[in-house]
Structure 1
C-alpha cells in the first residue's frame, strides 16, 4: 500500500531526528533547545555580575548550572526501560 508507514519506516524516521552524543542518543531539537537555554541564562548572569575580578566568572558558572537545571526540568528523558523477569535455575 502506498502512503502507509510500516514500523520499520517509523523507526528510520525517528533515527533521522536523533544524533549520538557521548554514547547516548538525543533528539536534535531537544539538544539545541537545551544549549540555547543554558547559553542565554549563563550570559545574562555574566552580564549582570559586578565587574570585580572573580564575580563575572562565578556568576557565569552559576548561570550555566541554573540553565542546565532548567533544561533538565523542561526536557524529559525519552528513554524507556523494560524489566524482564528471568527464570532462576
Structure 2
C-alpha cells in the first residue's frame, strides 16, 4: 500500500481498505484513498522505515494493517510485533 504524508495544516483523514485513518500534520500513514491537497504520496525510497516511526505512528501502522499488538506498549515491543506479523504475510 502507498505511504502518504499529511502536508496540510491540521489533522486529516485518509482511507485504507475503506477504513478511515487519521494523520496528524507531518505524519505518514498507509492509505489507498486520500485527498491530494492534504496528502503527499511517498515513493518507496521516501517512506520512513519502521524504526524511524514514533510509537503513535507504529500503532497507526499496525491498526491500518490489521496487526494485533497484544500487550505491547514500548516501541521495541511494538516493532517486534509488527515485524513478526509482516514476516507471516
Higher relative contact order (CA 8 A, sep 6+): 2
TM-score range, shorter chain: under 0.3
Greater Rg, structure 1 or structure 2? 1
Specify which structure has the higher proportion of strand.
Answer: 2
- Greater helix content: 1
